Amino acid sequence: MNYYNEIKNELINNEINRKVKNYSINKSDLDTYYNVGKLLLDAGNQYGESIIKEYSLKLTKELGSGYSQRNLRNMRQFYKASQKWQTLSAKLSWSHYCEILWFDDNKFQYYVKTVELNNLSIRQLREKIRSNEFERLPEDAINKLINQDESNAVDFVKNPIIIKNSGKYNTFSEKILQKLILEDIENFLEELGIGFTFIKSEYPIKFDNRYNYIDLLLYNIKYKCYVVVELKVTELKKEHTGQIMTYMNYIDENIKTTEENNTVGIIICKQDNEYVIKYCSDDRIIAREYELV
């Protein structure tokens, strides 16, 4: 079998399809690179790894740029991934796949599902990879996404939560932390996961004749629940869980409707304390550390 001619014909046919069938460019690309990847794997098994360099030089000379050794290896890896997962989503473009092809299994599958479910652009995918989103999520949350299991509003809150220290503050307080979050509220909501919207900072709630103020009150559209966020610039303490639990119960009793789910709470702190959360009586509460960048 003349592997080179087969590969060359696949690539030429794809270039023709890209010009006359613009609506199906992505499918044509993925189908072509799948077929080329299989041929490259077979050729490599027969002639050795050096065949990639040889084919790259010939294809570049005859067809032009776009067929570097790296790109050919990506096509081969794409075929291997396709074999492992049987079918790969056509909702991802070839450029999407090139960003994640060399990740290990869970990381690869996580980003495939994330792009597929959220219709992410290449730029958005790169931002998530650059921020180490996968590494900042609990393993059970990743498995829920990959397996499409039922999840809750706080499953995909990152740890740590990245907050930009735009003012380059040296001394720090809860008010400053709140200020930094509000200055970049869109990024903060993305750090929390899917469906979060901002309602108000310093949200007032009244007990008898005294007011208390929730640092941040959010709402999750997907999970139909209010989200109370409390900010702490110290290690997590047991009184913090008592405070946020009180606020959550207030929202449930006075604001939440019968059609909405119970309020959840997120304590953002300088340092987590696993024992405080472990022995907290309310499993709606989670704690996450923050990291300033």
Residue 147 belongs to a domain: no
Q: Which residue has the higher pLDDT, 278 or 203?
A: 203
Range(s) of the domain holding residue 158: 152-292
Q: Mark whether 167 and 263 lie in a shared domain.
A: yes
Judgement on whether residues 205 and 247 belong to the same structural domain of the protein: yes
Residue 2: which pLDDT band, with cuts at 50, 70 and 90?
A: very high
129 and 162, same domain (yes or no): no
**In this structure, is residue 98 part of a structural domain?**
yes
pLDDT > 70 in the chain, percent: 98
Q: Convert the pLDDT of each residue in 206-253 to its tens digit.
A: 988 899 999 999 999 999 999 999 999 999 999 999 999 999 999 999
Give the pair of three-digit tokens for residue 199. 């309602």
Q: Does residue 145 lie within any of the structural domains?
A: no
Do 61 and 106 lie in one domain? The reply is yes
Same domain, 74 and 182: no
Distances (CA, A) of 223 to 85, 153, 194, 213, 227: 30, 6, 9, 24, 10
Whether 32 and 128 map to the same domain: the answer is yes
Residue 175 lies in a domain: yes
Within a domain: residue 144? Answer: no
Among 104, 136, 168, which residue terminates a domain? 136
On the question of pLDDT at 23 being above 90, the answer is no
Between CA 79 and CA 31 the distance in angstroms is 10
Do residue 157 and residue 257 come from a single domain? yes
Are 73 and 190 contained in the same domain? no
Which has more confidence, 277 or 196? 196
Q: Which of 136, 170, 195 is a domain's end point?
A: 136
Q: Please give the residue that has the higher pLDDT: either 25 or 238.
A: 238
Dist CA 192 CA 158 (whole Å): 6
Terminal Cα distance for the chain, rounded:
55
What is the per-residue DSSP string for 199-235?
EEEEEEEEETTEEEEEEEEEEETTTTEEEEEEE-SSB
User: Angle CA(122)–CA(74)–CA(87) in degrees, nearest 5?
Assistant: 75
Which CATH number belongs to the domain containing residue 278 in this structure?
A: 3.40.1350.10
Does 176 map to a domain? yes
- Total domains, the chain: 2
Task: Say whether both 189 and 282 belong to one domain.
Answer: yes
Answer yes or no: do 275 and 156 share one domain.
yes
The answer, as to whether pTM is greater than 0.85, is yes
Q: Is there a single domain that holds both residue 74 and residue 192? A: no
In a domain, 142, yes or no: no
Question: For residue 274, what pLDDT band results from cuts at 50, 70 and 90?
Answer: confident
Residues 281 and 194 in one domain: yes
Q: Which residues pair with 206 in a beta bridge?
A: 211
pLDDT in tens, 155-179: 999 999 999 998 778 778 999 999 9
Does residue 143 lie within any of the structural domains? Answer: no
25 or 188, greater pLDDT: 188
